[in-house]
């Protein structure tokens, strides 16, 4: 059983507040009768819901691209800090969670979903999913430093980091592609070669590229084509 406003939001009719407006105007029917109460319970697969007399379908699983801003933690809840889940409250889905994490001061691509199996597959260490980061550094990256990153560096764990791909933009700016997701990994890798990250942004993950037209702090659903690219 689902609340009617969540059902409608999940059908991409708008944010929770927009949906409540539709309900007040009598634009929504359940089993042929106008319903105005957002808390009305809907049984999936049994009740027929229509908007402006057009039947709509609820999505059990949803997948969003979030352009994560700095200062927000990759968590579903936090007693003291704003979370990525707070940014998606208007979706109507209260069970969304981030696929992996980005550090509080890191921006960029973060997938939000309520599909646990999808998230597990994407994050599985066995999959070696590419993650691409735009990195601005405090100093120039030497040829030796680049070679070390591409071969694997000591980040103070039992194993070296896996080989990374380095694409130079300038002496102090690179795109770094890694296939792991260890804690503060990019920062630790650059520190291992005598450098420091001053700005970090994830631009791609597993074939999914951040939509640069998506403002920082905003989100949208993944398209069917994007889902085909990211499905593991």
- Judge whether 171 counts as a catalytic residue: no
Determine contact, residues 27/53, Cβ cutoff 8 Å.
Answer: no
Q: For 209, phi and psi rounded to 5 degrees? A: -105, 135
Q: For residue 26, give every residue at least 6 positions away whose Cβ sits within 8 Å of its Cβ, in sequence order, or none.
A: 34, 36
Q: For residue 178, give every residue at least 6 positions away whose Cβ sits within 8 Å of its Cβ, in sequence order, or none.
A: 130, 131, 133, 161, 162, 164, 185, 186, 189
* Residue (of 122, 9, 126, 20) closest to 58 by Cα position: 9
DSSP H or E stretch at residue 146: helix 143-151
Catalytic residue among 103, 105, 130, 211: 103
SS3 of residue 209 by DSSP: strand
Residues involved in catalysis: 103
């Amino acid at each position: 059983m689902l609340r009617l406003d969540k059902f409608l939001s999940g059908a991409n009719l708008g944010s929770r507040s927009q949906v409540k407006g539709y309900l007040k105007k009598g634009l929504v029917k359940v089993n042929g009768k106008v319903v105005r109460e957002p808390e009305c319970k809907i049984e999936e697969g049994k009740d027929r819901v229509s908007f402006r007399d057009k039947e709509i379908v609820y999505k059990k699983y949803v997948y969003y691209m979030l352009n994560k801003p700095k200062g927000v933690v990759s968590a579903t809840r936090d007693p003291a800090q704003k979370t990525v889940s707070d940014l998606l409250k208007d979706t109507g889905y209260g069970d969304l969670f981030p696929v992996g994490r980005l550090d509080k001061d890191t921006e960029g691509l973060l997938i939000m979903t309520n599909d646990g199996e999808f998230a597990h597959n994407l994050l599985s260490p066995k999959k070696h999913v590419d993650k691409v980061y735009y990195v601005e550094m405090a100093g120039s990256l030497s040829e030796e430093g680049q070679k070390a990153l591409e071969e694997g560096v000591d980040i103070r764990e039992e194993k070296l980091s896996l080989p990374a791909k380095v694409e130079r933009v300038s002496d102090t700016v690179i795109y770094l592609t890694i296939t792991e997701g260890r804690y503060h990994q990019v920062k630790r890798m650059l520190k291992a070669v005598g450098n420091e990250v001053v700005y970090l942004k994830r631009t791609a993950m597993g074939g999914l590229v951040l939509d640069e037209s998506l403002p920082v702090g905003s989100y949208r659903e993944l398209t069917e084509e994007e889902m085909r690219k990211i499905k593991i």
